[in-house]
Structure 1
Amino acid sequence: MRAERSASDLPDDIAIEPAAPDDRIDALRVLDAAMLETDVETVDAAIDAGDALVARFKRTNAVVGALVATRPDPTRLHVDAVAVRRARRGRGIGSALVARAMRRGETDPEIAVVTAEFKRDLEDFYTDLGFAIGGGVGSEASDDVDGEVGGGDIDAVETERLHGRYPVDGGGADAVGTGERRR
């Protein structure tokens, strides 16, 4: 249960829970305010699959954070978008949202790895949660989600995106992405 370590840092007045269909607009607003590109269909599918989470301010029931995960293949849970309202940032809410998604991956017998793609300035955030970080996306120094590292130029552009991988213990395929089932 490596993903639980940041959940204890969550403020007492915040609850993390699966998003319900009624949370769709609030989750989209939080993601939009963070300038994340997420479409309604992706959010709806994640809510239906139980792969969308919200952080709620307990006193008012307001959604102050949201996470949307997708399943690009049956053995991978991908953190597609995570955001926290600006006034609530720096309190561990984003970490708790990602940690809960990681726990979901750990408890789903089909999931072998939780992945994320993010800007370089979020590398420490994901590293602190236990993700292994690969090279950038869209640069010559890239690391695809199957763990194959591409060679290349170390002077990547500032918009370079990185891949993070968090292998889970009970997943259906091996952590290096070969697609073979664990025994």
Structure 2
Amino acid sequence: MPRRDPPDGFTVEPATPDDRLDILRVLDAAMLETDAETVAAAIDAGAALVARFDRTDAVVGALVAVRPDSDRLHVDAVAVRRPRRGRGIGTALVATAVRQADRDPVIDVVTAEFDADLAEFYRGLGFDVVSVGDGEEAGRLRGSRRVGDGSRN
């Protein structure tokens, strides 16, 4: 996967406990359902990232990941504040999570579940994308990207 650095003026870094409220606000503004306990656990596990605007240090994007299995990192939520979207911040957040997973010798795959309108976003980051199903899940997709098997950067 080509390196996907944040755009000039922005930094992607591991979240700290002080970032918890900002992460929840970014995810809430994007109407994503992630609870405070999941965010706190991800921060403690080093599986939460924030994107900051360098000039003000404000959190403008966030990614929360979980490890449902020891060999899998799942992107539970990723969001960027509306005025900052379309600049590559979300791409930088997901690419950073994939690079971190690639460095972890236990993780084999990074997964995410998302709406159909994000299929090209995840494909562009090297994810294989499949339909989740029908019924209530219609229109939902699942992406997976293998790491640690020769795809290391």
TM-score by length of 2: 0.93
Equivalent position of 1:161 in the other structure = 140
SS at match of 1:97: helix
Corresponding residue for residue 129 of structure 2? 133
Give the 3-state SS of the residue equivalent to 2:96 in structure 1. Answer: helix
| SS in structure 2 at match of 1:162 | strand
Within a 5 Å distance, the mapping from 1:79-118 to structure 2 comes to 79-118=75-114
Deviation, structure 1 residue 159: 5.0
Q: Report the equivalent of 2:27.
A: 31
Q: Distance in 1 between matches of 2:88 and 2:67?
A: 25
The equivalent residue for 1:6 is: 4
Partner of 1:66, secondary structure, is: strand
Gaps in structure 2 of 5+ consecutive residues: none
- CA distance in 2 between counterparts of 1:159 and 1:34 reads 20
- Listed as ranges, the gaps of 5+ residues in structure 1 are 141-156, 172-183
Q: Secondary structure at the match of 1:6?
A: coil
Deviation at 1:92, TM superposition (A): 0.1
CA distance in 2, matches of 1:43, 1:158: 24
Q: CA deviation at 1:135?
A: 1.6
**Structure 1 residue identity aligned to 2:32:** L
1:159 and 1:88 map into 2 onto residues whose CA distance is 29
**Larger strand percent:** 2
Q: Equivalent residue of 1:56, what SS?
A: strand
- How far residue 158 of structure 1 moved from its aligned partner, in angstroms, is 8.8
Give the conservation status (yes or no) of the 8 Å contact 2:50–2:61. yes
- For residue 75 of structure 1, report the CA deviation from its aligned partner: 0.3
What SS does structure 2 have at the residue aligned with 1:5? Answer: coil
- Whether the 8 Å contact between 1:111 and 1:170 is mirrored in structure 2 is no
Work out the percentage of aligned pairs sharing the same amino acid: 65
Q: Are the aligned partners of 2:73 and 2:110 in contact in 1 as well (CA < 8 Å)? A: yes
Q: Secondary structure at the match of 2:87?
A: coil
Displacement of 1:12 in angstroms is 1.3
Q: How many residues are treated as equivalent by the alignment?
A: 150
Normalising to structure 1: TM-score of the pair? 0.78
Q: Give the conservation status (yes or no) of the 8 Å contact 1:31–1:82.
A: yes
2:64 aligns to what SS in structure 1?
A: strand
Between 1:70-79 and 1:157-166, the stretch displaced more is 157-166
Q: 2:45 aligns to what?
A: 49
Matched with 1:77 is 73
